[in-house]
Amino acid sequence: MCGVICALVMVIMLSGSILPFATFCAPALGGIMLMAIAMECGMRLAWICYGTVGVLSLLFVPDKEAVAIFIFFFGYYPLLKAYLQRIHSRILQIAIKLLVFNAAVISMYAVLLYLFPIQSLVQEFAETTKLLLAALLAMGNVSFLVYDAALVNLLHFYVIKVKPKLRQIL
């Protein structure tokens, strides 16, 4: 099952290079797929699959920004969420999730702009004002909170609808 889902995530990541709007969607969907591995095979194998898909994506996926988005955030966040859900204080839980998101986004773009510069990305950031970048980060935070809530709903859907059917097949 792990190999099949890893292959499916690789197909999703590769298809993200074909569709222009999929730079963010493909890594997010790929990370969601890793939740099934965590549910069926355990967190250890899910983390191994995350690493495997990350390395394979670096090697084969042409859209390096999508690869970075997967590696720096969307690939591991659905797995990390299982640990963050154990925090009892809802306010502290949301604050830590937002801290993780912002640290991931800022460090990812720092790496993509300064350590391994992608010229199109460097040019795009040079032409964008600081105020617009701050507004984009704020919108990213709102989008992240929606994504986080959607993960809960997808997990419930998986447990109620998909997992019983999967058990029948296996």
Sketch the domain layout of the chain as residue ranges.
2-169
pLDDT bracket for residue 21 (50, 70, 90): confident
| pLDDT tens, position by position, 23-60 | 889 999 999 999 999 999 999 999 999 999 999 999 99
Q: Judge whether 43 and 49 are in contact, CB under 8 Å.
A: no
Angle at 152 between CA 146 and CA 144, to 5 degrees: 25
Rounded CA-CA distance 113/64 in Å is 12
- Largest CA-CA distance found in the chain, in angstroms, rounded: 55
pLDDT bracket for residue 151 (50, 70, 90): very high
The DSSP output letter for 4 is H
Is the confidence at residue 170, as pLDDT, over 80?
A: no
Rounded CA-CA distance 2/77 in Å is 18
Contacting residues for 28 by C-beta, under 8 A, at least 6 apart = 74, 147
Higher pLDDT, 130 or 145: 145
| pLDDT tens, position by position, 87-143 | 999 999 999 999 999 999 999 989 988 888 888 888 888 888 889 989 999 999 999
* Backbone phi, psi, residue 111, to 5°: -65, -45
